[in-house]
Chains A and B, each alone.
Chain A
Amino acid sequence: MKPSRLQDGHQAFDPPAQSTMPTAQTFDAGEPLKEIVVRNNLAAAKLPEEAIMREVMAAGYGEEDAFAIKLSLEEAMTNAVRHGNRNDPDKRVVVRYRVTPQKTVITVRDEGGGFIPERVPDCTLPENIERPCGRGIMLMRAYMTEVSFNESGNEVILIKVNQS
């Protein structure tokens, strides 16, 4: 296994790949994606967000695009920590990203068994609108240019084209 940077001060190793599906790195040729591996808690999950948002601001994205990327990344990290890794402190979340002035590509992978996105109820339907949870995927799809998942459902790929 390849050692990875762990941003909360500990060394970690990449978890084994859960799928053979291509990640954003392979279907979006360009510079390699940067990688940050964090422990599975919401405080540690802020670290990749802060790193990515610094690059987004420096790359000249507008306020609306920056809000969209931040919101989608928060939702992806929350899903990974809470639902994918089930709040297990021994698990990790792997974030890979590349920010250019043209577009931002982010992948978030957890160590869970994945899920089937199509089975998540549409929380904008009248019968679901009062559900207190389940809006994360819908928000990612509403705010990002492209959202996809690997085959096993434990990795989300987020792409935002700079609109400004």
Chain B
Amino acid sequence: MSAASEPVVELRNIVKRFGSVEALSGVTMTVRNGEVLGLLGDNGAGKSTLIKTLAGVHDPDEGEIIVKGEVRKPWTPAAARDAGIETVFQDRALAPQHSIVTNVFMGREITNSLGLLRVQVQIDEANRLMREIGFTSKVFNPESTVGTLSGGERQGVAIARALYNQADVIVLDEPTTALSLTETQKVFRFVEAVKSSGRTVVFIGHNIYHVWDIADRFFVIDRGKEAFEGAKSSFTGADHLIEMMHQLAETGSADTSSLLEPA
């Protein structure tokens, strides 16, 4: 990824505490236009907390969120979505007793000027979206109840929702966890498609080989702090990145001098 592409979103010195737990202690992360950013870190490192801050779900105790050069306050989930940031949360954020359609349009209902739902338009749109992301092999229809779907199908609904809004930035928090190989492949193809349409992706994953394949740049956090970051070209290969992650896990810090072009 060229360093020239400008930042779309910046999180600056984010501190987030939950009671006495400091989940984030001053993280600064920049997401650049058109890139796929791989966000890595151990369990409990603070990845989800960071992207929930980005999505407006968590109000940070300190720090600021800058979108396209502008400091945004107040930063709410609605503001984040309006700014073109869509998030597929780790727990998928679905309403299980409701239909696929209702879930896809949650918080973004298609209505007329009186606020009445345009039911058929929503059904058609949901149909189109489900086909677009390739969840068509099953006979389920857009009016199926989400609670009766498989894990992969539910992930498909969450992704369809993120896709609907033509967002600039799509954030995926461990989207492939608990998915089969074929469904994991679908998610990767989806990320590729989003990227080739010029949009930006933030991808959180535990399988570093997977993240390596699709990301242009990596941002690693450890116990609420940035450990290191680097473009793909800074590493000699996936094993180099894994080596550094191991170092980090064992010694509490990684040797960034081994990076080819330090960030």
Partners in one complex: no
Residues of B within 8 A of A (CB): none
Residues of A within 8 A of B (CB): none
